[in-house]
Homo-oligomer: A and B are copies of this chain.
């Protein structure tokens, strides 16, 4: 009997074996399983080959299991249980889960989402672990290589086999020191172009969306200060005449001593949540994504301009 032959047994056959073992009779098992007696007999015959043992031997007009069959029957029950447990997908129970979720995003998204996310996890899934990594414009690769479960960034397409969903609407605005004249006067395009700009370039190959809007208006700006992160930019701007162009959402994050004012152009974009088919149907990840979705929906409005 070759190895491949063995593998032909299926769980159906094991269930039949278990039934015959329990009933101590092929006919009874057949009736109980609502199958013909000859089918059961044939199945047992196959299993005899598989286990190289008669499994059941005739004794008068009944059959009795062999010693080997005792073992096999126990094993069959174990296998069936394991299998049944495997087939039924485990429901996700936040309260009990000890899963780890890996979220990839950047400074802004962390700033607006992380605090409420951690708070909700604490409340609903206290044993869940959260890892936040930097997206750095590399979200697609991170998803592809399974370095993270979810990316949240302005990017809306994370490549083939991925899903994405808009979760926050954003609009560009300008941030200036609380003592800037622009706090009181609307800044026109000319003043904007001639202002001293601070520029945040979180990753080398990221071109902010508002540049496209400026292109369309036929203007461009060159920054006087360029920084690699949005972090603590508020402290840099305060007391200077520097102008930061960024999503008005930062008003939720930055100190009140810098003020969010209307930009002299209109430019909107969206923050997207992206994931892959690998986590798409996982109850745990479905729950996690809906948590993020909910947090995004309930985000406070940015401070009025």
Seen from chain A, the residues whose Cβ lies within 8 Å of a Cβ on chain B are: 4, 6-12, 15, 50-54, 57-60, 64-69, 71-72, 75-76, 78-79, 82-84, 86-87, 89-90, 144, 146, 159-162, 276-282, 284-285
Contact = CB atoms under 8 A, between A and B. Distances in A.
B278 A65 contact: yes
Contact of A278 (B57, B72, B84, B86): B57
A61 to B, nearest CB: 9
B159 A60 contact: yes
State the oligomeric state as a number of copies: 2
Contact of A89 (B52, B65, B86, B282): B52
A221 B84 CA distance: 70
Contacts of A78: 82
14 contacts: A6-B87, A7-B12, A7-B15, A8-B11, A9-B83, A51-B86, A51-B87, A53-B281, A57-B278, A58-B277, A59-B277, A64-B276, A71-B90, A76-B86
Nearest to A144: B59
Nearest to A58: B161
Nearest to A85: B75
